[in-house]
Amino acid sequence: MGFGSNKNQQRKGRWAKWEDDLLKSLVTELSVDSDDIDWSILEKHFDGMRDSKQIRERWVNHLTPSIKKRKFNEKEIQIIEDECAKHKFKWSKISKKIPYATPLMIKNFYNNRLKKKNPPTVRKSYLAKTTTHDEKLHTLASMADYVSHNESTDSLAKPKKPKKMSISSILNI
């Protein structure tokens, strides 16, 4: 049996209840301190169905008794925003400032909140305002003229690689 021979059997995706129960019992039975766990030993009890990384992430992000899944309150939201401004997405560092929260919980919260705050790009919203097919074509032609004019007048500028966009996505067809 060589390295990686169980890869064909390895599960991905959702964890079954029996897997969660097995992991909880193994951590209780085999660990002295839940911070000092040899995940490779626990992996052997899963018979190749889950690897040590999956087992560790399941425990740390979902099953550890010290985490509580909940909505963040206003004070915690302020801490997350302040710490992100200071530490630039050091989720582990930020999670230490909020009790019962994991780095994954904070990262997901921040990214979901960021998506809600930022609307779609200006370019798409500008084209969406134009109503007829002819207006959209005129807008595209104007944009193309602007780009080609600016490229020809600035001979010292390094040429930029054009972004790939389909006409149908621009015209919202």
107, with CB counted inside 10 A (0-12, 13-18, 19+), is: middle
To the nearest 10°, the Cα dihedral for 56, 16, 24, 76? 60
pTM over 0.85: no
Report pLDDT digits (tens) over 31-74: 766 667 888 888 888 888 899 999 998 988 888 888 888 889 99
The span from the CA of 84 to the CA of 89, in Å, is: 5
Domains of the chain plus CATH, in order, are 17-63 (1.10.10), 74-117 (1.10.10), 120-152+167-173 (no CATH)
- Residue range 17-30: mean pLDDT, rounded: 90
Query: Could you give phi then psi for residue 11, rounded to 5 degrees?
Result: -85, 150
Instruction: Please list, residue by residue across 135-168, b when 16 or more beta carbons sit within 10 angstroms of its beta carbon and e when fewer do.
Output: ebeebbeeeeeeeeeeeeeeeeeeeeeeeeeeee
Query: Could you give phi then psi for residue 8, rounded to 5 degrees?
Result: -65, -30
The tokens for 153 are 């007048």
- In the chain, the amino acid numbered 141 is A
What percentage of the chain exceeds 70 in pLDDT? 60
